[in-house]
Structure 1
């Protein structure tokens, strides 16, 4: 039986993740008290073929609060009952969460007449810390819209079941903060910057004028070769360690030109040997963001 535990901060996209998994054929249970988990897994085992049963369990601060001492043993029990057990943790920056709750006008589950939104978010972070530390997959949803979040969850949890290790190359801008879900991070701000070419400033690293400029720069080609060589050398070690995903983040100043070009270039090279290689361009998609829940 496959068991996925889905957790994360309120407002980070847990409901969206569970809805996607339900669409993919998982039996999804949300907000179940931790003490009922053993009985639930036993019931699913009896009602379904254990070889094909797939269960996704949503756990948030309301489940865990007061049960912290039993959490490790319960998760260990779930792991023993499953042929494929993973924990997905969805993280989001505090400022983004404040904006999302303001836009959706929803009440934070830990807020009340004595606890404001700021305090509720901080309290939830402490409550969820143990499960965040145990997570097999962490996705930062701060800069993802609804559709990008669904794609990220599917890429990390569903597609790699069929296509081996899932490799994501994420471009980003350092001035907007670094992605917290990266396994490796490369700083390419030392490379020639198309931004300072007036005729190229309005294009992105996906468009031909910038591509032509960067591919003719020797330092860019050397950096691309070095990152590709590093990835090819170490990805097999992650596969041998039963890792199902790896996220390689490449950052430049604004996340519009150099990091985008290099992410696409290296992804194209890695696709020669790996089936599941995706790119995500954080800053290019930021202006299309919609709240997730």
Structure 2
């Protein structure tokens, strides 16, 4: 039996994630009070019967819960797992400036806003209240630069799978745009020769043949990739042995256009050839 707990900041896409799971066959409940999670766990365990392994549920938990109940979340989570339910936590996040813009554009009221608190204060307070959930998240998705359609694809690729299977993602990014907050491994490719300084290659990306040919001709790039592949080949299985549900491997360069894209593409091709549930994302590409 599998239970996905979806939480996160208001405006980050929790409703989109929950509806995506519902569309793929999960039984979903939005805004379930935290103090009812254990009762819900007992209920679904009792009704599962012989199809227990095939049952899939998802619940949305947010900051509208009482602070005292949110503080009890770690203990409730452990109780659910002791009962035999495979629990995963998906946390949706976004930069404060992005959340402010989204609330301004939609003119929605933040669930924690009131006459004495500004929207910025409400967002800050919400993050504090949800800290016990965020600290235990199996997967965090930053939706700052993610469209609704991209978020649906990410949820389908990473969450909709059989229980206990490792969801592996390779992601390229640009350091000048900040580190991915959901990264488990971060590898820095800025030490490698940069196609950006070649005018004939600048307009292309690491997915284009001209850039690939240039990088593959560089001894440093070949050595970097071979050592990276060897490291991941040795350690990904060990993470899987520890029943990890998600693993995100990120590769960064200065702008996230050439070197990181090339390496993420190669790693994806290598590991997707022998594993299921492997996905690829280029954060800075359209």
Give TM-score, length-normalised by structure 2: 0.93
Q: Residue 243 of structure 1 corresponds to which residue in structure 2?
A: 244
* Offset of residue 16 of structure 1: 0.8
Q: Which residue of 2 aligns with 1:289?
A: none
Contact 1:267 1:277 in 2 (8 A): yes
1:141/1:149 contact within 8 Å kept: yes
Whether the 8 Å contact between 1:163 and 1:276 is mirrored in structure 2 is no
Q: CA RMSD, aligned part only?
A: 1.8
Determine helix, strand or coil for the equivalent of 1:206. Answer: coil
> Once structures 1 and 2 are overlaid, which stretch shifts more, 45-54 or 244-253?
45-54
Separation of aligned partners in 2, 1:153 and 1:237: 24
TM-score (norm 1): 0.91
Give the structure 2 partner of residue 228 of structure 1: 229
- Show structure 1 runs of 5+ residues with no match: 286-293
Deviation (angstroms), 1:46: 4.4
Question: Which of 122, 125, 137 pairs up with 1:123?
Answer: 125
2:164, 2:244 within 8 Å by CA — same for their partners in 1?
no
Deviates more, 1:247-256 or 1:61-70: 61-70
Residue 37 (structure 2) aligns with = 37
Pick closer, same or farther for the CA change 1:213–1:13 going to 2, 3 Å. Answer: same
Structure 1 stretches of at least 4 aligned residues deviating more than 6 Å after TM superposition: none
**Which of 54, 75, 89 is 1:73 aligned to?**
75
Q: Secondary structure at the match of 1:220?
A: helix
TM-superposed deviation, 1:64: 4.5
Aligned counterparts, 1:271-286, within 5 A: 271-285=272-286
Equivalent in the alignment of 1:157: 159
- Hey, what does 1:134 align to over in structure 2? 136
- For residues 66 and 148 of structure 2, the distance between their equivalents in structure 1, rounded to whole angstroms, comes to 26
Q: Give the equivalent residue in structure 2 for 1:23.
A: 23
Cα 1:2–1:114 change in 2 (3 A) is same
Matched, 1:9 2:24: no
Instruction: Return the alpha-carbon distance in structure 2 between the equivalents of residues 183 and 66 of structure 1.
Output: 30
User: CA distance change for structure 1 residues 163 and 45 in 2, over 3 Å: closer, same or farther?
Assistant: closer
